Chain A
Amino acid sequence: SQQGEEDPQALSIQEGENATMNCSYKTSINNLQWYRQNSGRGLVHLILIRSNEREKHSGRLRVTLDTSKKSSSLLITASRAADTASYFCGYPPLGTGTYKYIFGTGTRLKVLA
């Protein structure tokens, strides 16, 4: 299976703390994206990082990419209750001629007020 994996599967933190979640993928990629999904809703795009980038920031989000380890991490700083959601990494496998995304299993984040 080409499916990636997020780690941890679930994370519970207090408001104001930082949350770090990791994504492992199995194929070569040219970009990787992080999405947020609130319960019962669609996926909301958060940030894209390309294979020639090592780190990217967007507001309270920081994403890193290590292509040698086939891993990426998403850091949410100063978390808020509204950050409670599931977070997924998604990527198109390189060299397959496909535009489909492979998604990981997700990290369920709960931020306690």
Chain B
Amino acid sequence: DTGVSQDPRHKITKRGQNVTFRCDPISEHNRLYWYRQTLGQGPEFLTYFQNEAQLEKSRLLSDRFSAERPKGSFSTLEIQRTEQGDSAMYLCASSPDRVSTDTQYFGPGTRLTVL
């Protein structure tokens, strides 16, 4: 399967710990996005990469959050000193860099629970 993959699918951590999530986009997709989704809400944009360049960050992305896409392929999202409010589903999406195609394809998500 060549869809977007995310790892891990579930993460339970204690408050104050650091966590890191990984996203592997569809191969040859240049754009990669991170979203956060809380229960009963739609996804909210966090950040976006064009190849390895992080081009946009939401104000939701506090100083405790950092995202990287070092070689323009997979991406990582790290949350430092987790808080209970960080509990959410973290979704990754990718899209090709073609003007005529705008669809973002989503991965299965990583569900984070902060105790």
Contacts and interface: CB of A to CB of B under 8 A. Distances in A.
Interface residues of B, number: 27
Interface string A75-113: 000000000000010101000001111111110000000
Choose among B56, B102, B107 the residue with the greatest number of A CB atoms under 10 Å from its CB: B102
Contacts of A3: 42
B65 interface: no
Given A31-B102, A42-B108, A44-B106, A103 B42 contact: yes
B95 A99 contact: yes
A45 interface: yes
A55 to B, nearest CB: 19
Nearest to B89: A40
Interface string B15-51: 0000000000000000101010000111111001000
B44 to A, nearest CB: 7
Q: Does more than half of chain A's interface fall in helix, strand or loop, or is it mixed?
A: loop
Contacts of B40: 105-106
Nearest to B41: A105
A100 B45 contact: yes
A101 B91 CA distance: 12
A48 B102 CA distance: 9
Contacts of B91: 42-43
A21 to B, nearest CB: 13
Contacts of B111: 40
A98 B56 contact: yes
Given A33-B103, A41-B108, A103-B44, 10 more contacts: A3-B42, A42-B4, A42-B6, A42-B108, A42-B109, A43-B93, A48-B103, A92-B102, A99-B95, A104-B42
